[in-house]
A and B are shown apart, each in its own frame.
Chain A
Amino acid sequence: MIPDTLMARLAALPPLNPPGRLARRVQESLLAGTHAPALVGEPPRPGRQRRWQVLVAAAAAAAVAIGLLWPRQAPVPLEEDFGWLVPRTAFAQATPPGLPRLAALVPGRMRAGTWVYRSRTHGPDGFEVDRGETRLTVAAGMRHGDSVWIMVRQGRGRPGTGVIRDSITVRRATLAPVARVRVPWGASMLFRGDSVVVEVPRHGLRYEWALPAIAEAPYLADLATLLPAVPFTREFHAGVPVLVGFRPQGPVHPLEMTVAGEEAVTVPAGTFTCYRVQLGGRSGGDVWWVDMASGRLVKSANQWGGDMEDETVLLEVR
């Protein structure tokens, strides 16, 4: 190949011999004490390339400054507090390798009602943060001629995020999502089969995102509200891909759900016989206790930071 040949020729170039007169000239100058000029009298001047770099850097700095100063639409963390029961928002996609796919939900197991939860974070040395109460209401309704479940979550979010109110509407027959509205930001999500339209009128935002293949699996964020429809058994072991963040294009991590046993759990709402559901994968460490009779969440715990724990318990059933 020419490049190899050329490189070899370049590397093999021998030094060029100086003419004999140069040695004599140097010697004579040394003997005569000739004044030597400065060797490198000037530093490299910024060349064209350097000037371009300066120009590009200046332009980038100006763009950043404009970006910082320009009035912007505030980012909308649509899903920031949606993980009050499930730590990650998720869209079901393909089955994680090596895990059985979550079996089809059983829509007939859903029931109307209201469940009130209290959440707190606690740690060593008496550290405790009360994360407030959350009320989950499931009500039957109609939407565009379809029989739907309207599931509303109300409560206080993480410290500083204020009151939350979400509603999720799913078809009763399939539990497929139809719409979602998040009140604090006025955000709405309308599901159109293979896409979702997100609008936040308050900020003038409108997105339409293609949805991954959902098939019969639910959005995992909705899974907490749809828990009664999940067919837990003693040997239940299923995988659900978890989309971290909100956008369907985001990174997907497998979430593994395994029934690790049965336990009697006592919470302010009473004592319940529960499946202990261990979450693995990205949300490893989370444990749910799910009432075997109603399928409702009774308690959840999530250890993090070594010795800190988030805990949610059922306060009341109405």
Chain B
Amino acid sequence: MADARPVPDRDLAQRARQGDRDALGELYRRHGTAAYSLAARLLGAGEAEDVVHDVFLALPSALASYRERGLFGAWLRRVVARAALTRVRSARRRNEMALEGVVIATEPSWADPDLELAIARLPDTLRTSLVLHAVEGFPHREVASMLGISIIAARVRYSRALNALRRDLRRHGT
């Protein structure tokens, strides 16, 4: 009788490290949604697809830094977050991220469209802090590390993001 237990992420990661496409496909099936969700809330849908695509393609080499001590999913989310934030910074330098005032179409998968829209309308410095901490659950210390700022600054940004979000929701009557 075949063993029905799912292959652990750790084993898939080991195989993916050697370029096993099936293993990569399985990892995408398991963690693609979480990766895309994080990237989409940081960057928007279009950019998020590019980030997730690039992350999974680069996974065999990126897995060299995966120490297998923690959960693979948590490690992958950190990789995605850093990749997405790199794009945010690049876009900021090119002044491309002017989400404020941009009309954003609702996505069919949004369970709370008002809140998702309000998050998307936040300035990117506030949005990243809010998404990483409040939605994705990264501790402030890790958010600070990802953003290259102090822990205090991360907390301040998060607090400002909450206030801005609250104001935005009030303004839009939600």
Contact = CB atoms under 8 A, between A and B. Distances in A.
Interface of A: 2-3, 6-7, 9-19, 21-23, 25-27, 29-31, 34-47, 49-50, 53
Contacts of A12: 112
Contacts of B166: 2-3, 6
A53 B61 CA distance: 35
B110 A36 contact: no
Given A23-B29, A26-B53, 19 more contacts: A12-B112, A15-B33, A15-B37, A16-B107, A18-B37, A19-B49, A22-B32, A22-B52, A25-B53, A26-B25, A26-B52, A30-B21, A36-B54, A36-B61, A39-B62, A44-B148, A45-B148, A47-B148, A50-B150
Contacts of A9: 112, 115
A29 B58 contact: no
A6 to B, nearest CB: 6
Interface of B: 21, 24-25, 28-29, 32-34, 36-37, 40-41, 45, 48-49, 52-59, 61-62, 79, 82-83, 85-86, 89, 107, 109-112, 115-116, 130, 134-135, 146-150, 153, 162, 165-166, 169
Query: Which one of B24, B41, B148 has the greatest number of beta carbons of chain A within 10 Å?
Result: B148
Contacts of A44: 85, 89, 146-148
B54 A39 contact: yes
A23 B28 contact: yes
Contact of B82 (A10, A14, A16, A40): A40
Question: Could you tell me the dominant secondary structure of chain B's interface residues?
Answer: helix
A43 B40 CA distance: 21
A21 B46 CA distance: 12
Nearest to A35: B57
A15 B134 CA distance: 13
B141 to A, nearest CB: 14
Contacts of B36: 15-18, 22
Contacts of B134: 7, 10-11
Which of A15, A34, A37, A44 counts the most B-chain CB atoms under 10 A from its CB?
A: A15
Contacts of B62: 39
22 contacts: A11-B135, A15-B33, A16-B33, A16-B37, A18-B48, A22-B53, A23-B28, A26-B32, A27-B25, A30-B56, A35-B57, A36-B57, A36-B58, A36-B61, A37-B57, A39-B82, A39-B83, A40-B82, A45-B89, A47-B147, A49-B150, A53-B150
A26 B86 contact: no
Contacts of B32: 18, 22-23, 26
A10 B115 contact: yes
A26 B58 contact: no
B86 A41 contact: yes
Contacts of B28: 23, 26
A43 B146 CA distance: 9
A109 B131 CA distance: 79
Contacts of A6: 162, 165-166, 169
B132 to A, nearest CB: 12
Contacts of B33: 15-18
A38 B56 contact: no
B110 A31 contact: no
Contacts of B29: 23
A298 to B, nearest CB: 60
A40 B24 CA distance: 19
A23 B49 CA distance: 10
Given A22-B32, A44-B89, A13 B146 contact: no
A60 to B, nearest CB: 15
B99 to A, nearest CB: 16
B75 to A, nearest CB: 12
Name, among B37, B40, B57, B112, the residue most crowded by chain A CB atoms within 10 Å (CB to CB): B57
Contacts of A36: 54, 57-59, 61
A13 B49 contact: no
Contact of B58 (A18, A25, A31, A38): A38
Nearest to B57: A36
A47 B59 CA distance: 28
